[in-house]
Structure 1
Amino acid sequence: MRAVLHPLRDRLPVETAVQFGAQLPTLVRGVYYDGWRPADTPVKMSNEEFFARVRSEFPYAVEGGDEKLVRTMLKTLERHVSAGEWQHLKSRVPNSFAALLP
């Protein structure tokens, strides 16, 4: 979970990251904010760089690869965030990354 949450959070503008984090369940919110430095965000990264960061945080082989891991985690997160906030999140990331979001 952390391996996907942190690169996602760091890729978002600060205001969007806070709005998104506020809707997460309490335990997940703690993981999401752990170690965050708002002054260092947003970090521009390509999808390849995003997946590389996920791999560095979660170096285990996953059936279906990194993209399936990210899509599964994002689909799970979507269940805990309002539809309006999810659409706002999608609008704040590059189109290439938004395509990964359910």
Structure 2
Amino acid sequence: MSATGLNVFDKTVQTTNIWLNEIMADLGPDRQLAWHVLGVVLRALRDKLPAELAANLGAELPLLVRGAYYDQYQPSREPNSDRSVDAFLDSIAEELKFGRPVNTAGAAKAVLRALVHHIDLGQSAKVREALPKEIRALWPASVGT
């Protein structure tokens, strides 16, 4: 029997929980923190990408995660042009500062690892290559790294 009565909702909840479990494996067993980190890192990543590529990435995400990804999105804005990894991590840290302390680089890597594990390999490569070199260093070389 379906938990929600709609298979599409059940599937997105199940898939989202898989992503959250992978993030919690890195950050600890706090599902709320994992959800918050997932949204914050995905939005920081989205804001580094051209609108078309950001939309293509969004199409790869589970429905529930896609909602967090597009929260407050303004596609007419130019991608954030600061190319430093410090600025990227600072933008994440700013959004995470009201929760329990978390290693920002570790949080970014946990989300990127889950992303790479679950999206199309070609799309993953396109997103990675669109990022500044310094930020690409956070991107896992493969699913197992």
TM-score, structure 1 as length reference: 0.92
Structure 1 residue 15 displacement after superposition: 1.0
Q: Deviations over 1:51-102 (max 9, x none)?
A: 111111111312xx21111001110111221001001111111111111111
Q: Determine whether 1:101 maps to 2:139.
A: yes
Give the percent of matched residue pairs that are identical in Structure 1 and Structure 2. 34
Name stretches of at least 5 consecutive residues in structure 1 with no aligned partner: none
Q: Is the 1:25–1:80 contact (alpha carbons within 8 Å) kept by the matching residues of 2?
A: no
Q: Is the 2:88–2:135 contact (alpha carbons within 8 Å) kept by the matching residues of 1?
A: no
1:55 aligned partner: 93
TM-score, structure 2 as length reference: 0.66
**In 2, distance between residues paired with 1:11 and 1:2?**
14
1:39 match: secondary structure: coil
Q: Determine whether 1:17 maps to 2:57.
A: no
Name stretches of at least 5 consecutive residues in structure 2 with no aligned partner: 1-37, 141-145
1:38 match: secondary structure: coil
Q: Deviations over 1:12-64 (max 9, x none)?
A: 011110111100111000100111001113111221111111111111312xx
1:91 aligned partner: 129
Q: Is the 2:59–2:66 contact (alpha carbons within 8 Å) kept by the matching residues of 1?
A: yes
**In 1, distance between residues paired with 2:78 and 2:58?**
14
> Aligned partner of 1:61: which letter?
P
**In 1, distance between residues paired with 2:136 and 2:58?**
18
> Aligned partner of 1:7: which letter?
A
TM-align CA RMSD:
1.0
Choose between structure 1 and 2 for higher RCO, CA contacts under 8 A separated by at least 6 residues. Answer: 1
Specify which of 22, 27, 37 is matched with residue 64 of structure 2.
27
